[in-house]
């Protein structure tokens, strides 16, 4: 008895050693992952396909009675890719467990194991064959970027009912377009049943040197290929309006907000008081830089039109130009013009009564509401007063055929010269999908949004109406900058005394 326990332990240890030696480390934790959708996004040669095959074979061997379906768009391509790969893997990993693998080009594609587990192959274009496959216990969709969302849904429905082991669909693909349904479905929203994984060739220690060099050479020859296949990031087709490489490099930094949440406040029907920031990962305000005392900020706002537009507020540090915070929400998430105005009010107050420049084209309601709430610091535009014929001053920003190209042009230059100022992922995504159409009219690609871009452009444009230095504090001195604090910390005791005398109290 003791001996057989020992045998089991030894064979388990040997098995694990084998698994570790043949698996790309970045994928190892996914071997036991039980989410319904295991989404493998990655560049070329990262090891997605090999790993999907490894996991399926491990499960077939250790969980008897599986019926895995492996599918991609076109049946013809399945044989050379998945069937070929899985046959080879099965023979290498568990030669004694394999029962049948038909050979020859004309024969059926399937793999059967001695314990009854099977792997079946069907292209999405082979409707008859797909229909004939029943009682599936798991699915791998290879090159899912080729697959329509409707076809995916059909497969998803096929995997239901009672099975002995957990049901999982593995989805592997290259991120060929930032507007792909895969991004919207699996990356742009929270879903507890989904596990997403991102990988690149750099994760794969087994990749031949030659393949690595090919991928890296795209950097010089083809920026789109480099983005998708080397960096494993969502690709953008079409002529981008903003400097794509700069935006890409910012995205690669994957800068995270320091806080995520929303503003809570007391409201008595007239005024807002007791503003505080409530941390909540699912909420719509992302803070990248907290306000420091006396620091001036500018906030640009874009109101949602009809449909799927968002309400956006973009907040900038007006000394450095750095993007400090973003507020972004839509009707679907329960936002409306009134709530938006109140959140903007709080955002402005939180950022030292920032200058607010809100777009008043679609609706003047948020601007009016901000005025009613008693907000004090607004962007002022000049407009021709039709009644008196003189120019009058109004609050808020008006997007016209004259102002739109102007503010977008200003932002275009900024992205070219100082891309490091923009840090928010959603904003950077939108900058990438902002393209020229045939009439050289800059607009969001396909059904992509441009609210973050417009709000940002308005914020940058409004900067000249806000001071660009820290306000002096009560003792008439400017608050210390980060650099001053650093110098002070590194100074000797004697130097510290001198610095204090020179700069005054930091508070
Ligand atoms: N055990 C292994 N795991 C992963 N990759 C391996 C392994 N052994 C060899 N490789 C090499 O890594 C290459 C890339 O792996 P794989 O085909 O899984 O990448 P991929 O992420 O599916 O790429 P693509 O997006 O181009 O389809 C293989 O073709 C092979 O040359
Ligand atoms: Mg692959």
Point out the ligand nearest to the CA of residue 43. 1
CATH number of the domain encompassing residue 164: 3.40.50.300
Specify the ligand 1 atom closest to the Cα of 174: 25
Q: Are residues 225 and 319 in the same domain?
A: no
pLDDT of 308 reads 58
The pTM for the full model equals: 0.69
* Tens-place pLDDT, residues 20-33: 999 999 999 999 99
Specify the ligand 1 atom closest to the Cα of 50: 18
pLDDT higher than threshold 60 for residue 438: no
pLDDT higher than threshold 70 for residue 475: no
What's the CA-to-centroid distance between 49 and ligand 2, angstroms? 4
Q: Are residues 225 and 263 in the same domain?
A: no
Return the residue whose CA atom lies nearest to atom 14 of ligand 1.
45
pLDDT higher than threshold 80 for residue 11: yes
Note whether residue 225 is domain-resident: yes
Note whether residue 4 is domain-resident: no
Q: How confident is the model at residue 307 (pLDDT cuts 50, 70, 90)?
A: low
pLDDT of 29 reads 96
Q: Are residues 491 and 361 in the same domain?
A: no
Note whether residue 142 is domain-resident: yes
Number of domains observed in the structure of the chain: 3
pLDDT higher than threshold 80 for residue 443: no
Kindly provide the b/e burial profile for residues 37-70, where b requires at least 16 CB atoms within 10 angstroms of the residue's own CB. bbbbbbbbbbbbbbbbbbbbbbbbbebeebbbbb
Note whether residue 356 is domain-resident: yes
SS (H, E, C) 432-471: HHEEECCCCCEEECCCCCCHHHHHHHHHHHHHHHCCCCCC
Q: Are residues 209 and 350 in the same domain?
A: no
Which residues approach ligand 1 with their CB closer than 6 A?
22, 24, 42, 44-50, 174, 204, 206-208
Mutation pick for ligand 1 pocket among 141, 207, 213 (CB with most ligand atoms within 8 Å): 207
pLDDT of 440 reads 54
Note whether residue 172 is domain-resident: yes
Specify the ligand 1 atom closest to the Cα of 48: 21
Average pLDDT, rounded, for the chain: 90
Kindly provide the b/e burial profile for residues 242-259, where b requires at least 16 CB atoms within 10 angstroms of the residue's own CB. bbbebbbebbeeebebeb
Q: How confident is the model at residue 469 (pLDDT cuts 50, 70, 90)?
A: confident
Q: Are residues 450 and 488 in the same domain?
A: no
Highest mean pLDDT among 160-164, 169-173, 175-179: 169-173
160 SS3 class: coil
Mutation pick for ligand 1 pocket among 50, 72, 81, 227 (CB with most ligand atoms within 8 Å): 50
* Tens-place pLDDT, residues 313-343: 999 999 999 999 999 998 888 899 999 999 9
Note whether residue 459 is domain-resident: yes
| Backbone angles phi and psi of 270, in degrees to 5 | -120, -50
Note whether residue 368 is domain-resident: yes
What's the CA-to-centroid distance between 315 and ligand 1, angstroms? 43
CATH number of the domain encompassing residue 319: 3.30.420.240
pLDDT of 421 reads 97
Q: How confident is the model at residue 177 (pLDDT cuts 50, 70, 90)?
A: confident
* Tens-place pLDDT, residues 179-192: 899 999 999 888 99
Note whether residue 250 is domain-resident: no
How many residues appear in the chain?
A: 507
Least confident of 88-92, 378-382, 433-437: 433-437
What's the CA-to-centroid distance between 176 and ligand 2, angstroms? 13
Q: Are residues 496 and 461 in the same domain?
A: no
Asked if 398 contacts 383 with a C-beta cutoff of 8 angstroms, the reply is: yes
pLDDT of 324 reads 98
pLDDT higher than threshold 80 for residue 473: no
Q: Are residues 347 and 425 in the same domain?
A: yes
Q: Are residues 461 and 493 in the same domain?
A: no
Q: What is the mean pLDDT of residues 133-151?
A: 93
pLDDT of 45 reads 96
User: Which residue stretches of 82-168 are H helix?
Assistant: 84-93, 127-132, 149-158
Tokens of 296: 């001036």
pLDDT higher than threshold 90 for residue 241: no
From residue 205, alpha-carbon distances to 45, 211, 284 in Å are 10, 12, 39
Highest mean pLDDT among 39-48, 185-194, 229-238, 493-502: 39-48
Q: Are residues 188 and 299 in the same domain?
A: no
pLDDT of 178 reads 86
* Domain, as residue range, for 290: 259-465
Q: What is the mean pLDDT of residues 56-82?
A: 94
263 has which bridge partners?
Answer: 277
Q: Are residues 417 and 443 in the same domain?
A: yes
Q: Are residues 90 and 223 in the same domain?
A: yes
pLDDT higher than threshold 70 for residue 95: yes
What's the CA-to-centroid distance between 345 and ligand 1, angstroms? 52
Q: Are residues 318 and 364 in the same domain?
A: yes
């Amino acid at each position: 008895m003791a001996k057989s326990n020992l045998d089991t332990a030894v064979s388990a240890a040997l098995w694990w050693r084998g698994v570790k030696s043949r698996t790309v480390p970045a994928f190892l934790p996914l071997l036991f992952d039980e989410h319904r959708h295991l989404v493998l996004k990655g560049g070329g040669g990262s090891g997605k396909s090999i790993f999907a095959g490894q996991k399926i074979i491990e499960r077939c061997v250790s969980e008897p009675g599986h019926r895995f379906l492996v599918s991609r768009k076109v049946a013809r391509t399945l044989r050379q890719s998945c069937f070929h790969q899985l046959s080879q893997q099965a023979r290498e990993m568990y030669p004694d467990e394999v029962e049948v693998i038909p050979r020859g080009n004309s024969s059926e594609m399937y793999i059967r194991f001695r314990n009854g587990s099977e792997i079946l192959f069907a292209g999405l274009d082979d409707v008859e064959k797909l229909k004939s496959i029943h009682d599936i216990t798991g699915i791998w969709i290879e090159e899912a970027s080729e697959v329509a969302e409707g076809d995916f849904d059909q497969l998803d429905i096929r995997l239901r009912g009672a099975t002995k082991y957990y049901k999982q669909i593995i989805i592997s693909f290259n991120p060929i377009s930032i507007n792909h349904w895969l991004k919207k479905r699996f990356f742009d929203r929270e879903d507890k049943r989904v596990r997403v994984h991102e990988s690149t060739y750099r994760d794969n220690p087994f990749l031949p040197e030659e393949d690595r060099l090919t991928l890296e050479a795209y950097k010089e020859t083809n920026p789109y290929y480099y983005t998708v296949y080397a960096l494993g990031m969502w690709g953008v087709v079409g002529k981008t309006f903003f400097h794509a490489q700069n935006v890409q490099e910012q995205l690669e930094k994957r800068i995270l907000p320091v806080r995520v949440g929303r503003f809570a406040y007391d409201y008595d029907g007239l005024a807002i008081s007791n503003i505080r920031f409530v941390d909540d990962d699912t909420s719509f305000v992302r803070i990248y830089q907290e306000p420091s005392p006396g620091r001036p900020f500018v906030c640009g706002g874009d109101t949602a039109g009809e449909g799927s537009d968002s309400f956006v507020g973009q907040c900038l540090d007006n000394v450095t130009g750095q993007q400090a915070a973003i507020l972004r929400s839509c009707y679907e998430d329960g936002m409306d013009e009134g709530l938006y105005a109140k959140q903007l009010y709080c955002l402005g107050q939180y950022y030292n009564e920032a200058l607010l420049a809100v777009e008043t084209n679609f609706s003047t309601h948020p601007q009016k509401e901000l005025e009613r709430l008693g907000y004090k610091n607004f962007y002022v535009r000049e407009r021709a007063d039709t009644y008196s014929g003189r120019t009058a001053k109004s609050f808020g920003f008006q997007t016209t055929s004259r102002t739109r190209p102007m503010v977008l042009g200003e932002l275009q230059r900024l992205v070219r010269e100082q891309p490091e100022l923009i840090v928010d992922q959603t904003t950077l995504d939108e900058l990438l999908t902002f393209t020229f159409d045939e009439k050289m009219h800059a607009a969001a690609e396909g059904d992509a949004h441009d609210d973050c871009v417009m709000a940002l452009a308005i914020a940058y444009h409004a900067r000249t109406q806000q001071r660009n230095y820290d306000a002096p504090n009560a003792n008439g001195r400017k608050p210390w900058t980060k650099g001053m604090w650093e110098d002070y910390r590194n100074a000797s005791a004697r130097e510290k005394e001198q610095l204090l005398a020179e700069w005054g109290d930091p508070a």
